[in-house]
Amino acid sequence: MSEPSPSAGTDPGAETAAGAVEAALDELGVSYESPQPGAYLIRLEGQHKLATMTWLIVGGHSLAVEAFFCRQPDENHAAFYRFLLERSGRMYGVHFSLDPVGDVYLTGRLPLSATSTAEIDRLLGCVLSYSDDNFDAALELGFASSIRREWAWRAKRGESLANLRAFARFADPEVLARGNDPTEPPGALRAPRRRQP
């Protein structure tokens, strides 16, 4: 959203908090870069979203967290933003937010007094979970047409579709033609559905 502007180095409370953040990250075994005092860039590796780059920024009174989620959607804006807003109400420590261009971030703040190892671990775990768990659904809502075009382009050129497999049920013409679950092999038999009384 913006360049980090930490207060560490100018405020004794912020310097203490920055030391606590560094100690917590070291204790947790989390690798990070610190391009300036009080600003920590962490790469959180996921299953669906391969990496969520996350800033922890020590301010004068709070620890800010900011992680890029995805760019602004290409389509289906109302459903895309509704999906994110519905999730934000159930989230801990961070929420979905937009920058002026419309790109989506996970952002939040903690009081400096809460900069314990356990709380930083919880906060980073939440960022990773919310980013990874919601990524495929958000892309399907906001970028389905682009994903279909990318699938067709790669298939035509014989390129790997590995990182698009999560979208096979709406992007793979073979799956659409079968009209079944993309995890089922072609011709798989399914049990008939029972009618509810």
Q: Which pLDDT score is estimated for 114? A: 86
Q: Report residue 1's pLDDT band, with 50, 70 and 90 as the boundaries.
A: low
Residues 130, 66: Cα–Cα separation, whole Å: 13
Amino acid at 44: L
Q: Do 181 and 169 meet the contact criterion of CB atoms below 8 Å apart? A: yes
Residues facing residue 33 across a β-bridge:
41
Question: Rounded mean pLDDT of 10-23?
Answer: 85
Q: Report residue 2's pLDDT band, with 50, 70 and 90 as the boundaries.
A: low
Say if strands 104-111 and 62-70 run parallel, antiparallel, or are unpaired.
Answer: antiparallel
Structure tokens at 99: 């920058």
Residues 86, 95: Cα–Cα separation, whole Å: 10
pTM for the model? 0.82
Structure tokens at 59: 């301010």
Q: In the 8-state DSSP scheme, what is residue 178?
A: H
Question: Rounded mean pLDDT of 18-42?
Answer: 96
Q: Report residue 40's pLDDT band, with 50, 70 and 90 as the boundaries.
A: very high
Torsion angles phi and psi, residue 68, rounded to 5: -70, 130
With H, G, I as helix, E, B as strand and everything else as coil, classify residue 65: strand
User: Side-chain half-sphere of 178: how many Cα atoms within 13 Å?
Assistant: 18
Q: Within its chain, how far is the Cα of 169 from the centroid?
A: 22
| CB neighbour list of residue 179: distance below 8 Å, 6 or more residues apart | none
Nearest to 37 by CA among 53, 19, 25: 19
Q: In the 8-state DSSP scheme, what is residue 90?
A: T
Q: Do 59 and 47 meet the contact criterion of CB atoms below 8 Å apart? A: no
Residue matched to tokens 């100690």: 23
Q: What is the dihedral of CA 56, 34, 105, 132, to 10 degrees?
A: -90
Q: Which pLDDT score is estimated for 186? A: 37
Question: Rounded mean pLDDT of 144-151?
Answer: 95
Summarize pLDDT for 77-88 with one digit per residue, the tens. Answer: 999 999 999 999
Neighbours of 161 (CB within 10 A): 15
